[in-house]
Structure 1
């Protein structure tokens, strides 16, 4: 087989993985009814309904311990924005975004596509390592070998891998630096400078950032956990289509092996929080020592994002 042919196969496999396994399916094949707004007790998660992304949300509306509320229209969390339609891009334009932070590593951007954004807006790349998750999926799915896929992902291995990914959010210095930069950007913005951050599925790197930000603002842990877990509701229909597509295409006999990689779970979040406790004694020191956010920056976060 020629080198050109091998390259075409590698790129084709990557494209299938991007479209089916991690990224958003192209709008023409992934259209489905947007999930209803997810109620979280007395609060509401505000979804931004788009055709080419499924997990775009306003982080506003949550209440803190002392009764303040996170402002709507200031911070947005999202999944990959490379498959947005023209109408999606226009909808993003109406949000007035002044900064978009992309946590994806280069291989994800290569196969899933650069962000499609309103004119004048360019994503800031801050890659947070996925601990080799994308490459692992590329290998497993691209093999089309059910035995190899079971060996790589079955018997709890996929879930164990995800717990390791979450631990690196805390232990990896470069990851910490990129999360910290994003929180500083928010603190140094004003109420006319909305910011959006995202990864590929909008659930792990984005979920951890959102959890830490909400806790830094004084939002109770139970509330921040509900925001984290809401990704499962928003991604459920899309992820089921992914698994069905992989089975129908013959790439996986048992696509349910992917479920631990597609979902967020409390034991993943707990893995990161246990590392926070072990390394820093709690979230306060993780913020001030692990992320090197001084008290002035933390106070500015509250001033920018909270209202009585």
Structure 2
């Protein structure tokens, strides 16, 4: 069950957050609540999009062209690289671990874009997926991924966004980069652009004052953008004789509300509130939160 905004935010000294995030769970934003997600169409990546365009509770607008989220950029074509050049990216933050980078390749980026390697552990997810597929053994694959085990593993991944100190440090550094006016537009990504990137993007939007429902919709939209690619991958595994039942990996390919809610439940268990997760767990100061909003929200 997801936490209410009041339960997440209530704490002494939460002035910086409460200034932009209402604690009334029934509050509604002024102006439009929803926005069309602006995807960046590329041939070598399917989940790259602009985080701008969302309305906040006070009717302000998250600026386009400053914060982007995506999947890995190791397979971009020359035309894709040119398209990214048109965004004027100053920094690309890669949340992948070295195993993922070694498998899919380093990012292909436009000249002048600064790459930042900032691994956030996937709790062994990528390695487990490779081991399961590489075994070609339907029995072992069922033992590793079947019976709800794949979804349970994903929930554990999301808990590490809260409990793992190195993960928290990487997430905090990325939010600080997004608040830095000298960095130019920033794109953050992992491998699929849905879990580590999804949690960071959800958190960013909520910190900017975007209603949780809209931030959650942005998180869940990865299922839409990745659906065709993921279906082709499953079919390829079956046709190639690697998996008899490729549907076993669906819980690893998808984002689900239960995964996000697991992280939020861990926030409550470990920190008591979203404010304490941000201020103590991530170590972000009120001035940094205000700088984030001032840079990314028009009229802030």
Separation in structure 2 between the aligned mates of residue 75 and residue 42 of structure 1, nearest angstrom: 18
Contact 2:34 2:55 in 1 (8 A): no
- Once the two structures are superposed, what CA deviation does each residue of 1:113-150 show, in whole Å capped at 9, x if it has no partner? 00000012242100000000111011100000000000
The reply to whether residue 70 of structure 1 matches residue 73 of structure 2 is no
Within 1, Cα distance between the matches of 2:113 and 2:172?
22
> Of 46, 58, 66, which aligns to 1:54?
46
In the alignment, which residue of structure 2 is the partner of 1:127?
119
Secondary structure in structure 2 of the residue aligned to 1:87: helix
Aligned to 1:118: 110
Q: CA deviation at 1:281?
A: 1.4
Instruction: Show the counterpart of 1:195.
Output: 186
Partner residue of 1:301 out of 289, 292, 299 = 292
Residue matched to 1:273: 264
Q: Which of 93, 97, 102 is 1:101 aligned to? A: 93
**1:42 aligns to what?**
34
- Find the aligned partners of 1:41 and 1:254 in 2 and give their Cα distance: 40
Question: Could you tell me how far 1:41 is from its partner in structure 2?
Answer: 6.4
Change (3 A) 1:41 1:301: closer
2:145 pairs, out of 147, 153, 157, with: 153
What stretches of structure 1 move > 6 A for 4+ residues in a row?
A: none
Number of aligned positions between the proteins: 268
Partner of 1:179: 171
Distance in 2 (CA, whole Å) between partners of 1:285 and 1:167 is: 16
Q: CA deviation at 1:71?
A: 0.2
Provide, for residues 66-115 of structure 1, a one-character-per-residue CA deviation record: whole Å limited to 9, x for no partner: 11110000000000000000000000000000000000000000010000
- SS of the aligned residue for 2:221 comes to helix
Match in the other structure for 1:291 = 282
- Per the alignment, in what secondary structure is the counterpart of residue 123 of structure 1? strand
Name 2:202's counterpart in structure 1. 211
In structure 2, distance between residues paired with 1:276 and 1:124: 27
Higher relative contact order (CA 8 A, sep 6+): 2
| 1:237 to partner: Cα distance | 0.2
Deviation sequence 1:175-200 (CA, Å, 0-9, x none): 0000000000111225x810000000
Q: 2:83 aligns with which of 76, 91, 96?
A: 91
Structure 2 residue 222 is the aligned partner of structure 1 residue 231? yes
Structure 2, unmatched stretches of 5+, are 1-31
C-alpha distance after superposition, 1:160-182 (max 9, x if no partner)? 00000000010000000000000
1:285, distance to aligned residue in structure 2 (A)? 1.3
Give the aligned partner of residue 247 of structure 1. Answer: 238
1:289 Cα offset (Å): 0.7
Which structure 1 segments of 5+ residues have no match?
A: 1-39
C-alpha offsets along residues 226-259 of structure 1, whole Å, 9 cap, x if unaligned? 0000000000000000000000000000000010
Contact 2:44 2:75 in 1 (8 A): yes
- Aligned-pair Cα RMSD in Å: 1.1
